[in-house]
Chain A
Amino acid sequence: MARNIHGVHEPLFHISKRQESSLLLAIGVRLVAILLALVVCGVVIVGLTGLNPVEVYAGIIDGAVGSSRRLWVTIRDALALLLVAVAITPAFKMRFWNVGGEGQVLIGATATAAVMINLGDKVPAPVLFALMIGASLLAGMVWGLIPALFKAGWNTNETLFTLMMNYVATQLVSFCIVFWENPAGSNSVGIINSSSKAGWLPPLFGLTYGWNLVIVVAITAFIYVYLRYSKQGYEIAYVGQSVNTARYAGINVKTVIIRTMAISGALCGLAGFILVSGAGHTISTTLAGGRGFTAIVVAWLSKLNTFTMMIVSFLLTFMAKGAIQIASQFSLNENASEIITGIILFFVLGCEFFINYKVEFRHRHREG
């Protein structure tokens, strides 16, 4: 009970919200978090494998950016992740929990592949690309619109709905693979148009992934401006902050939900186009590769700022690529590398708590 033997007991510590956050503090806490993460990773590496952690870190850097080719693969994958993160940002700014990026990417990729396979050699390149982009946008949009319409009409839970749409998309891809199998019996599509390269994004400025770079950076900049300076961006912000305020401002909340998810879904679909036409040139059920979910981490780590997302998505991809390298170099299980990424994410995400709250410990001495 409260009146215990010693009379008075203060709790060991209590937690209070910081009233104002300083930039210096925020940067400092994050740096400490990354350093701590590296130290803990080091301890884990030594403890589990007996390897020198410095060599392992060197391996990570080598794997991610060790050669021009590796650097560009890292950039290519970071761009794909960035585009998905940018695409889901309008929805999250509206506080519409779109966890269906995965499915929207996949369905956009499927639409792209369908155009490539069926029309690849039949129409001229500009028309083909226009059709591929159009198809991917449209497919992603439909996938985003379905949960939005249900949300606007009947206030269904968008998190569950978008999540389930992912499984539908995966099944749809499996179904399509049956028809597109190449070679027969492989249960995979193989490289599409491998000889004619029809529908493959060509190099730009001599860069293999030049088009990827231009498209993704342009969309990143556009969404930044769209959310911050456009009327529709303000509508999204008001709906996200408070539906009541939006109503008060005379905003048609349903229209905004539907319109925003159409944009969000369409851009995810476009990421599918980039993945098929600008990177893998094939389609499989695992094409999205969890990007729809990782993108949520990227978006929130960046506080929905699309430019910060560039850095965050590059760092996450960097770690993933480095992880693959150390897995083979030190013949570690591939999961070992994921442990490192996990530890780093744990610290980086966890440090947000210390940026927003402070912990006060019990005063050591008491008078009397």
Chain B
Amino acid sequence: MKAENAIELRNISKRFGKVVANDHINLSVRSGEILAILGENGSGKTTLMNMISGIYYPDEGQIFVHGEEVTIRSPKDAFPLGIGMIHQHFKLVDVLTAAENIVLGLSGPTRLDITAVATRISKLAAKYGFDIDPFKKIYEMSVSEKQTVEIVKMLYRGANILILDEPTAVLTPQETDALFAVLRNMRDAGKAIIIITHKLNEVLALSDRVAVLRRGKYVGAVQTADATVESLTEMMVGSKVTLDIDRPDPVDPQVRLVMKDVTCVDPEGVITLNHASFTAYGGEILGIAGVAGSGQKELLESIAGLTPKESGEIEYYPPNSETMDITGLSAVEISRLGIKLSFVPEDRLGMGLVGAMDMTDNMMIRSYRKGGFFWADRRAPKTLAEHIIGTLEIVTPGVSTPVGKLSGGNVQKVLVGREIASAPTVLMVAYPVRGLDINSAYTIYSLLNVQKMRGVAVLCVGEDLDVLLALCDRILVLCGGRVTGVVDARTATKEQIGLMMTQSGKGGER
């Protein structure tokens, strides 16, 4: 053993009710090592890390830090042990500066010397290669800058075991590279780093060793140098899977939807969509790429009639009939015109579905208006629910189980199933495979392809550029609410799109 174990877990188990989130897991990380924890959603990665950082308490098992057994009851216990976790959702105070956030909650002399703090921060930044302005307020920062503040906060507090939960989910390819460079510097300085992810390419690019979890169980660990995308996928899923996404050629694409110069402003007066224009064709999948919060949500919602538009026009070209102007229409008015526009929003259980309600009631979100004046028709939605369970192979105890109790993949199948049941002519999906296991993700891709071949105009907002490049026909890139370009997905490269994602359309930055 060349270095001592910075942290070691022995036989750690955690149950939530009957669900075993972690089942006797053994894991160790050495100082000066980057360990990637790989697993599909729901495999117990985050639960395990939360036990190290004191958010959960294990039901069974022991934790050793630098060879000594410890009890971590709360994050307060984790700090003195040098354990720092960077969560997916940042825990920063918006109106304070970076330096103020970093010292917040630390004890020290009564009089706070913020310049001394800033000097220390700058030293840390220089040492590891961060780019940080200690006096910048959090609300003026981009997502990647906020993440930097979170990491520096942990280092400032003396963390030498760093846990990062899906740190790249919100970053552009370029920002990801910068983060990886910093993490490598930290490793070389002797820190132990654990990174949770499900992106295989990143695992291979960054880590020294990979530990794989599957359904709460520890599958094994391999040296990254000995691993390939295929071997890791097999460990993650438990069986061989083909990773190629089908992309049939579009048949007779026709103009279906035209957005002209649309601008949206949110209630706070921030421009969320800035003179956006594009054309979507029936029979093709149009991908929409961009850093999170670049106007993707507003783009889809303005078409669906859920977000008011400041200016601009939206035209709908039905198959074989007159063009319709749907600019100022609400969702209900659009559906009254007989336009079959389906929308799978990003927030599945907060917008597309109601978690506490059963499948029938969730089908009724779209259909409850049908029928007479007083009574809501419950029979047709129930039949539809049963039909979707059958055709999409949804795993559920029955139609009367609340959808919130289903797994992420099944929730998404319920939502997509409902949306395609109306035989749409335009199908909008936002982050359709986020949080889904690999098999469910491929089911969703093939459902989108079926719709495409039916002649539907599919708009797909995505975050994984590799997937967008493999699935879509064309990709529209958003940056700060502006459309910075539309590229052919068959010829474009990731770097090209990455540049368009950051090409700052001045203003509109959140």
- Pairwise interchain contact A250-B16, C-beta atoms closer than 8 A: no
Confirm or deny: B69 has a beta carbon within 8 angstroms of a beta carbon on chain A. Answer: yes
The reply to whether A250 and B330 contact each other, CB–CB distance below 8 Å, is yes
Structural contact, A245 and B350, CB atoms closer than 8 A: yes
Indicate whether A248 sits within 8 Å of B330 (C-beta atoms), given known contacts A19-B16, A233-B376.
no
Most buried by B among A2, A7, A8, A229: A2
> For residue A2, which residues in chain B have a CB less than 8 angstroms away from its CB?
70-73, 77-78, 80-81
A12-44 interface code vs B (CB 8 A; 1 in, 0 out): 001011111000000000000000000000000
Known: A231-B368, A245-B352. A19 touches B80 (CB 8 A): no
Check A20/B17 contact, CB under 8 A, given A245-B365, A250-B331: yes
Given contacts A2-B73, A7-B71, 4 further A-B contacts (CB under 8 A): A8-B69, A8-B71, A234-B361, A234-B376
Number of chain A residues whose Cβ lies closer than 8 Å to a Cβ of chain B: 32
B366 touches A249 (CB 8 A): yes
Q: How far, in angstroms, from A248 to B335 measured CA to CA in the complex?
A: 12
* Chain A hits for B352, CB < 8 A: 245, 248
In whole angstroms, how far apart are the Cα atoms of A244 and B331 in the complex? 13
A250 touches B332 (CB 8 A): yes
Quick one: CB contact mask for A237-256 with B, threshold 8 Å, 1 for yes? Answer: 11001101101111000000
For A14, the chain B residues whose CB sits under 8 A away are 57
Smallest CB separation, B504 vs chain A (Å): 30
Q: Which residues on the B side are within 8 Å of A156 (C-beta)?
A: none
Q: Are A238 and B350 in contact (CB under 8 A)?
A: no
Query: Binary interface profile of B, 178-222, with partner A (CB < 8 Å = 1, else 0)?
Result: 000000000000000000000000000000000000000000000
Give complex CA distance A232, B18 in Å.
37
Asked if B127 CB lies within 8 Å of chain A CBs, one says no
The 5 closest A-B pairs by CB, nearest first: A19-B17, A250-B332, A2-B77, A250-B331, A244-B351
CB-CB < 8 A to A244: which residues of B?
347, 350-351
* Chain B: number of interface residues, binned into ranges: 35 or more
Shortest CB distance A12–B (Å): 11
Closest beta carbon of chain A to B358's beta carbon, Å = 12
Q: Bound complex: CA of A217 vs CA of B371, how far in Å?
A: 28
The reply to whether B73 and A11 form a contact with Cβ atoms under 8 Å apart is: yes
Which residue of chain B is the closest to A4 with respect to CB atoms?
B71
Question: Is A9 engaged at the interface, CB distance under 8 Å to the other chain?
Answer: yes
User: Who on chain A is nearest to B56 by CB?
Assistant: A14
- Note all chain A residues with C-beta closer than 8 A to B305: 250
Question: Is A241 a contact partner of B356 (Cβ separation < 8 A)?
Answer: yes
A9 & B71 in contact (Cβ 8 Å cutoff): yes
Determine whether B492 belongs to the interface, using a CB cutoff of 8 Å to chain A: no
Beta-carbon contact of A234 and B350 below 8 Å: no
* B67-104 interface bits toward A, Cβ cutoff 8 Å, 1 = contact, 0 = none: 01111110001101100000000000000000000000
> Given the complex of chains A and B, what is the CA–CA distance between A229 and B364 in angstroms?
12
Q: List 8 A-B contacts (CB under 8 A).
A: A2-B72, A16-B15, A20-B17, A231-B373, A231-B376, A242-B354, A249-B331, A249-B366
Using A231-B369, A241-B357, A250-B330 as known contacts, say yes or no to A10 and B17 having CB atoms under 8 A apart.
Answer: no
Q: Which residues of chain B are near A8, meaning CB under 8 Å?
A: 62, 69-71
Task: Determine whether A1 belongs to the interface, using a CB cutoff of 8 Å to chain B.
Answer: yes
Give min CB distance, A233 to chain B, whole Å: 7
Alpha-carbon gap, A233 to B377, bound state (A)? 12
Q: A3–B376 contact, CB under 8 A?
A: no
A230 interface residue per 8 A CB criterion: yes
How far in angstroms is the closest Cβ of chain B from A13?
10
A230 touching B376 in the complex, CB below 8 Å, given contacts A19-B16, A19-B19: yes
From B57, B332, B374, give the contact of A231 (CB < 8 A): B374
Assess whether B345 is interfacial by the CB under 8 Å rule.
Answer: yes
Please, which residues of chain A bring their CB within 8 A of the CB of B354?
237-238, 241-242, 245
Looking at B81, B357, B366, the one whose CB has the most chain A CB atoms below 10 A away is: B357
Q: Closest B residue to A247 by CB, please name it.
A: B306
Judge whether B316 is part of the interface by a CB distance below 8 angstroms. Answer: no
B45-76 vs A, Cβ < 8 Å mask (1 yes, 0 no): 00000000000010100100000111111000
Return the contact of B17 from the options A18, A231, A233, A235 (Cβ within 8 A): A18
B374 with A19: CB separation less than 8 A: no
- Which B314-353 residues have a C-beta within 8 angstroms of A? 330-332, 335, 343, 345, 347, 350-353
Which residues of B have CB within 8 Å of A20?
17-18
- A191 CA to B290 CA, complexed, in Å: 74
Q: How far is the CB of B376 from chain A (nearest CB, A)?
A: 5
Within 8 Å by CB of B16, from A17, A233, A234, A235, lies: A17
Distance of A232 from chain B, by nearest CB (Å): 8
Most chain B beta-carbon neighbours within 10 Å: one of A9, A234, A235 = A234
Q: Bound state CA distance, A18 and B371, in angstroms?
A: 39
Asked whether any CB of chain A lies closer than 8 Å to the CB of B275, the reply is no
- Give the residues in chain A near B57, CB-CB below 8 Å: 10-11, 14
A298 to B335 alpha-carbon distance, docked (Å): 41
C-alpha spacing A7/B63, complex, angstroms: 11
Scan A206-235; emit 1 where CB is below 8 A from any B CB, else 0.
000000000000000000000001111111
- Judge if B378 is at the interface, Cβ distance under 8 Å: yes
Chain A residue at minimal CB-CB distance from B17 = A19
Q: Which of B362-404 contact A (CB under 8 A)?
A: 364-366, 368-369, 371, 373-376, 378
A1 pairs with B71, CB closer than 8 A: no
Are the CB atoms of B330 and A1 closer together than 8 Å? no
Contact among A11, A229, A242, A248 with B331 in the assembled complex (CB-CB below 8 Å)? A248
